[in-house]
Amino acid sequence: GSVAALALSATMALAADKTIGFAQIGSESGWRAAETTVTKQQAADRGLDLRFSDAQQKQENQIAAIRSFIAQGVDAILLAPVVATGWDAVLQEAKEAEIPVVLLDRQVDSSEDLYLTAVGSNLVHEGEVAAEWLIGAVGDKPCRIVELEGTTGSSPAIDRKTGFENTLKGHDNLQVVRSQTGDFTRAQGKEVMESFLQAENGGKDICALYAHNDDMAVGAIQAIKEAGLQPGKDILIVSIDGVPDLFKAMSEAEANATVELTPNMAGPALDALDAYWKDGTMPPKFIQTESKLYTQADDPAGEYDRRKGLGY
Ligand code: GZL
């Protein structure tokens, strides 16, 4: 009836005059680009005014953006923290300004009373899922593994390494022989993989690659092919994100497995903010998104088609 309509319009009006600042890391990977696209769409769908900052993967730029949002008097701040440390001061400033901060897709070492909630996957579990797939694929034959790590000091790089290595314990035939950061980018993933190939008998001694994200895996696939080896066969490839180009590689048998990460962290974040703004509802400190394994058996060509238009 009219009361419900009044309440709805009031809610919309409430959300409509809300402004949020989004301190995004950058556009280092296809997944990051998709997260930005989805976040802007989720804000628009809710009638929110989104102010966007791309930090070019520099923490000091994210901190400056947060300070600018505080000066603008925004109603909330979304932060995808490039690294896990160094946030206490600026988060304290947001708290003193009574501006709620919601973390997206990465975690911080700061005390949890310095942010309203964090939306993201269980990053340790992602590493466990990747290792479990590789253990199943390799069986008990010796397997020398190289690892492309994410951005040094970021929670995904730390946690995805931890989960993978913990799961390999007890499977002594599987050994991580080289591990180095490729900073989550295709270019650096290719560059570091080239050095791994050279150091490992032209790649003949490498059994598998574990990449902390698909973009580094896609770069590595290029390097493996240029070394005259067959990615997905001579060197097994398991990574994380579930971006279209990884599904494309799997459909061509050039990659073997990926752990999907949803780019829609903003939906749960904005829902939590809505409830908080409306009546002070406090969300849980961690809102976990799911992690699903995809292999060549899971219609990779179809998954590519379903994802390619989503802003990656
Ligand atoms: C993980 C996210 C990572 C993605 C990468 O939650 O922070 O950052 O896996 C991106 O593609 O660079």
Q: Per residue in 20-36, pLDDT tens?
A: 999 999 999 999 999 99
Per-residue pLDDT tens digits for 195-254: 999 999 999 999 999 999 999 999 999 999 999 999 999 999 999 999 999 999 999 999
Ligand 1 atom showing the smallest separation from residue 80 Cα:
7
At residue 57, what is the residue type?
Answer: Q
Residue 13, classified by CB atoms within 10 Å of its CB into exposed (0-12), middle (13-18) or buried (19+), is exposed
Is 75 a pocket residue for ligand 1 (Cβ < 6 Å)? no
Question: What per-residue confidence (pLDDT) applies to 282?
Answer: 98
pLDDT at site 311: 86
Residue 224 phi/psi, 5-degree rounding, is: -65, -40
What pLDDT sits at residue 60? 98
| Average of per-residue pLDDT across 91-110 | 98
Q: Is the CB of 29 under 6 A from ligand 1?
A: yes
pLDDT digits (tens, 9 = 90+) for 165-199: 999 999 999 999 999 999 999 999 999 999 999 99
- Closest ligand 1 atom to residue 243 Cα is 11
**Cβ(260) to ligand 1 under 6 A?**
no
Angle formed at CA 217 by CA 216 and CA 219, multiple of 5 degrees: 65
Residues 6+ apart with CB under 8 A from 70: 77, 93, 94, 97, 99
